[in-house]
Structure 1
Amino acid sequence: MRIGIHRSGNKGYEFTVWGPFLKTVSLKMVSPYQKNIPMEKDQRGYWKAMVEEVTQNISYYYRLDDERDRPDPASHFQPEGVHGPSQVIDHSFHWQDEHWRGIDPVEMILYEVHVGTFTPEGTFDAVIQRLDDLRDLGVNALEIMPIAQFPGERNWGYDGVYPYAVQNSYGGPEGLKRLVNECHKKGISVVLDVVYNHMGPEGNYLREYGPYFTDKYKTPWGDAINFDDAYSYEVRNFFIENALHWFRHYHIDALRLDAVHAIFDREAKHFLHELSERVEGFSLQAGRRFYLIAESDLNDSRVVVSRELGGHGMDGVWCDDFHHSLHTLLTGENQGYYLDFGKIEHLVKSIREGFVYSGEYSEFRKRNHGNSSKNVPATRIAVFSQNHDQIGNRMLGERLSALVPYEALKLAAGMVLLSPYIPLLFMGEEYGESSPFLYFVSHCDPALVEAVRKGRKEEFGDFKWKEEPPDPQSRETFLKSKLHWEKRTEGSGKVLLDFYKYVIMLRRTVPALSYLDKKNLAVDGVEEDKIIFMRRWKDSSHVFLIFNFNSIDVKFTSVFPKGIWIKILDSSEKMWNGPGSLLTKELNPEQEIIIKGHSLVLYRNENL
């Protein structure tokens, strides 16, 4: 069942909204003319009205039970915010991507962006002005944090309450289409972050329409979305249609599904299973692939296992364990969920398999956690050293650039980009952005603002941070999170940017690095020296990497396979603002070498 507004042949436009327990619903036009149109209810609780003439910019509410006016839950645009009327959108657009077929995840270099803080203007059009910079970096997949309409002008996007509507302060539907169109013209895929596990608190009128929520389960944000209780069929339909909406009207290439561990569903066919099924059908109809990438805190490989083998069939999953393993080795932090990490063996296992916790006991969780990802293809695992969560959910929103020395930033970049997995970068990390990424909102209700402030303080309890968190409601908190683009053009920022460009180039052009496969991989580590050795190969292309997570130089006898190995990357060299390398251009097996602290080196052999 398609919901919202749709053209119905030559009859006009059909307005459809679900409200099974409502006694009356009428379509209330408010601008540019006023008119009230009664709606008729079908057996499944959908109210419908046919309107012959509908033009762009008509604003409307649904009048519920003759007593209150509410925006359309499937509104495509809320020009006056979450409490204002919905607006009819004509989705005709001069698309110039008719030959675009997207980018396979195996080739993606993902780059996560928050539209509001990515540029001074904080709009879709302003992002367009930076696409050439991203393409020059080597990025070919722009991952946009949620843009579904949220309250006010400042928000991470996870407080959205109109899943079909494009945020008005970013540029609305036309702005998003222009951005996607320009991305495709430049060979960049667009991944959109969507939230199907909860709705934000302000402007959330879904309860007044029907049983969209259930108290059977609790999420960190309150009652869960009703995916398996009575009337859940229509709720599932609402969110599945939403996914297709982004593909159909905005040419989005992939969706990143936020926190799927908070999507509670005990049905025989899980919501994610049904969603992937429907997206596959849509892809066949459209003649090209659309993808689903999940974020999950469960370490459950079933998320990406094929539906035929009993999984949900997602095309990819974020791997937090990789981040935690890398972060703790770089920073030495051991509070909160970092308590479970901090050893070389953790990162070695993550490089080999993906999940570190695959059924082992977690001290942080006080229980066994996860299942094995050993058989999950490398092409379905996304890794990172930073993202919006891992930065923004720190009390002071510090990036790695504020936590570790410059040499360690290059080490982190190399580990992510030269791993056998899909790499994700967070905006600004490529030049060592120094501004924090803080949590910010712009709610209208003072009581809600105070609740958010209190909730943020409680979230940091496990980390024992003593500072006072910045006020999330303050505009200053938002402005502090803006990128400083000028830093990428000078000094150490430019050097680090050039380092990222070079490493991405190697990843793309060296077959052993571009071929993502766990079977063509050997990795080991030395706990005492904090050294990781990694070998990757594809046909005649072989590479050998050494990562030193020790802050001091380490001497050892090389464990290189036979043959002559040529150095093609050394992060400690002076050209990368390093202290200077102690390694020769060519190395032989069983040669004693010294690798500088917090550095990585990459050797290549094409003759094995």
Structure 2
Amino acid sequence: MQFEVWAPQADRVTLQCEGAARALTRDPERAGWWKGEATADDGARYGFALDDGPVLPDPRSRRQPDGPDGLSAVVDQERYRWRVPWPGRELPGAVLYELHVGTYTPEGTLDAAAARLGHLVELGITHVELMPVCPFPGRHGWGYDGVSLWAVHEPYGGPEALKRFVDRAHELGLGVVLDVVHNHLGPSGNHLPSFGPYFTDTHTTPWGAAVNLDAPGSDEVRAFLVGSALAWLRDFRLDGLRLDAVHALYDTRATHFLEELSAAVDHLAAEVGRPLFLIAETDLNNPRFITPRTENGLGLHAQWNDDFHHALHTALTGESQGYYGDFARDPFAALAKTLTGGYFHDGTYSGFRERHHGRPLDRARVAGHRLLGYSQTHDQIGNRAQGDRLSAHLSPGLLACAATLVLTAPFTPMLFMGEEWAAGTPWQYFADHTDPALAQAVRRGRRREFAAHGWAEKDVPDPGDPATRERSCLDWSEPERVEHARVLDWYRRLIALRRDQPDLTDPDLADTKVAYDERARWLAFRRGDVRVAVNLGKEVAAIPLGSRPALVLAAWEPVEAPGADGVLQLPGESCVVLSQP
């Protein structure tokens, strides 16, 4: 088979394959590339030595059996026999479920997670969104410090385990989305700088030097990232990718990297004959990310909407620290604005940033499904000092209200694993760094960060303590308990309603009409013939819904449809969904 590697600064490149050395030759047709032939079957170990340096793993390695610092292994993509013909599953109408392989089950493997996918089918989920699976040092971690962007973390089961997971999901009718990180690589195990200018000091990021998207050598770096993305979608039959923190992809070129990537993904979708999509994480509130390329946008298909989360979180909890401060003064007004306009910061002043932020969405041109709405995510839970979920602080009724707003809003809803049964387990920050100095630096840095906000060191979990990860694993006995089963049933009912009521998947943002009372703590909105009302206060709320007859479709607490006066008497910390043609 042919081996090749981009190493533009090397004078010599040697392939080490199964203990034998072979000098590679320059590729006359591609500047900076080296190539050569060697006999190698699936699983053969190999690496590249540059000049007189050590043998390093392949930047495009498809498997790292011994972790990021070990030799690469050849992967025969044709070896796996797919069981399920898959036509794809598009994003409009979807309900996503964010899942971390290492804590979804105590075993922390893809095969163990696949065995639990039936739960998601019963819940009504359409797509599983896997958190990153690229290799990282150690066994357990969030995955955002991954390296080897074409490979699968070996402790999760490696590449064939991911294929088995996807095959099983497709067998059950579930699409699969993968979270990928292009804006930085992990602090250890990253050998890309030895091969070429993958990073640049032209820009800086919170994680150090920026990925080189616009400096000399960036053509090949962009091709590396695009190729990785297409490989996930093509070789593993994934349905979409979630792109981490795209606001940290610094690119001054006329054609932005994301535009190039979205064009390549759309081309692949046409080639394979099934829908493929890209979801961005961005805090810029810039509609250009989800505007089609034909309209001078970047052509991404959707984005996470943190503004909706922040407004909902402050309304539920009253918290006002950090970025919540912009939403906390009038949280119901903020929530109403996001429900009808998508962004809260659409050119408004942000006290948190001490400047104006964002710009408006054109509601006539941007469909609601292009924004993902959620009450909890890995970030919003795990970046708290103790990784505490909403269930640690809110009553079941308020949790039901949160679910109602997420699952009936005009956005694509996304759940974080376990929230559907009000999981009692936290989801804490954990990292299994093999470098003791790095592990100590992470521990001290996290505790120092939260000490500034009044947390005692002993109350901030040690990321490197195995117990931190163990606490974060879901407890699969909980859904059988009465207090959890009731919340789970509510989620199932709401998702079924979303599927059965066409108005709840109507993409027209402008069609959502909202009323609220900040002081009485209730909010109601209309989507076509569907009416939704939540009461976050403790007292019964009188909510005017109009004089037309209404039918209760689902209610957390027993409630009667509005009488002749059109006023709904909604119990405290409760919610209802009605049909009012």
- Shorter-chain TM-score bucket reads over 0.9
Distance across 1 between alignment mates of 2:485 and 2:217: 55
**1:463 Cα deviation from its structure 2 partner:** 4.8
Residue 456 of structure 1 is aligned with which of 446, 461, 467?
A: 446
CA contact (8 A) 2:544 2:567 kept: no
Q: What is the distance in 1 between the residues matched to 2:180 and 2:514? A: 35
Q: Deviations over 1:489-513 (max 9, x none)?
A: 1211111111111111111001222
| TM-aligned CA deviation for residue 44 of structure 1 | 4.6
Q: Does 1:446 find its partner at 2:432?
A: no
Query: Matches of 1:80 and 1:384 in 2, distance apart?
Result: 37
Q: State percent identity of aligned pairs.
A: 42
Task: Give the secondary structure class of the aligned counterpart of 2:504.
Answer: helix
For residues 345-389 of structure 1, the C-alpha deviation after alignment (integer angstroms, 9 at most, x for no partner) is 000001101110011111111111111124221010101000100
Deviation at 1:309, TM superposition (A): 1.2
Tell me, in whole angstroms, the C-alpha distance in 2 between the residues paired with 1:77 and 1:592.
62
User: Paired residue for 1:413, among 403, 428, 443?
Assistant: 403
Q: Deviations over 1:452-473 (max 9, x none)?
A: 1233235447755445421111
Aligned to 1:604: 579
1:140-159 Cα distance to aligned partner (Å, 9 max, x none): 10000000111110110001
Q: How does 1:168-187 map to 2 (within 5 A)?
A: 168-187=154-173
Q: Which residue of 1 aligns with 2:346?
A: 358
Letter in 1 for 2:513: A
1:217 alignment partner AA: H
Separation of aligned partners in 2, 1:405 and 1:552:
14
1:489 is the counterpart of 2:476: no
Query: 2:229 pairs with 225, 229, 243, which one?
Result: 243
Residues 17 and 459 (structure 1 numbering): CA distance in 2 closer, same or farther, change over 3 Å? Answer: farther
Equivalent position of 2:550 in the other structure: 565
Q: How far has the Cα of 1:340 moved from its partner? A: 0.8
Residues 79, 87 of structure 1: 8 Å contact kept: yes
- TM, length-normalised to structure 2: 0.96
Preserved CA contact (<8 Å) 1:27 1:49 = no
**Do the aligned partners of 1:25 and 1:47 also contact (CA within 8 Å) in 2?**
no
Which is further off, 480-489 or 509-518?
509-518
Correspondence for 2:146: 160
Structure 1 residues 547 and 223, CA, compared in 2 at 3 Å: closer, same or farther?
same
Equivalent residue for 1:392, pick from 382, 401, 404: 382
CA contact (8 A) 1:358 1:373 kept: yes
- Aligned mate of 1:273, from 254, 259, 270: 259
Moved more, 139-148 or 216-225: 216-225
Q: Select between 505-514 and 77-86 the one with higher mean Cα deviation.
A: 505-514
* 1:199-598 alignment, distance < 5 Å: 199-342=185-328, 343-375=331-363, 376-460=366-450, 463-466=453-456, 468-537=459-528, 542-554=529-541, 556=542, 558-571=543-556, 573=557, 581=558, 583-584=559-560, 586-588=561-563, 590-598=565-573
RMSD: 1.5
CA contact (8 A) 2:562 2:569 kept: no
Any conservation in 1 of the 2:386–2:426 contact (CA below 8 Å)? yes
Distance in 1, matches of 2:451 and 2:256, equals 33
Q: How many pairs are equivalent?
A: 575
Opposite residue 267 of structure 2, the aligned amino acid is G
Structure 1 gaps, min length 5: 1-12, 574-580
Give the residue type in structure 2 aligned to 1:289: P
Listed as ranges, the gaps of 5+ residues in structure 2 are: none
2:545 counterpart letter in structure 1: F
**Cα distance in structure 1, aligned partners of 2:68 and 2:129:** 24
Question: 1:62-141, aligned counterparts within 5 Å?
Answer: 62-92=48-78, 93-98=80-85, 100-141=86-127
Specify the SS of the correspondent of 2:201.
Answer: strand
Give the SS at the match of 1:499.
Answer: helix
Distance in 2 between residues matched to 1:527 and 1:536, nearest whole Å: 21
Partner AA of 1:497 in structure 2:
L
Residue 530 to residue 177, structure 1, CA distance change in 2 (3 Å): same
2:281 and 2:506 map into 1 onto residues whose CA distance is 24
In structure 2, what residue type is equivalent to 1:569?
Answer: A
TM-aligned CA deviation for residue 251 of structure 1: 0.4
Counterpart amino acid of residue 548 in structure 1:
N
Give the Cα separation in 1 of the matches to 2:505 and 2:369.
Answer: 11
Kept in 2: contact 1:553–1:594 (CA 8 A): yes
2:76 partner SS: coil
Q: Secondary structure at the match of 1:127?
A: helix
Distance (Å, rounded) in 2 between the aligned partners of 1:55 and 1:392: 41
Query: What SS does the aligned partner of 2:47 have?
Result: strand
Q: 158-167 or 545-554: which moved more?
A: 545-554
Counterpart for residue 134 of structure 2: 148
How far apart in 1 are the matches of 2:466 and 2:73? 28
Is contact 2:290–2:303 with CA below 8 Å preserved after alignment? yes
What SS does the corresponding residue of 1:252 show, helix, strand or coil? coil
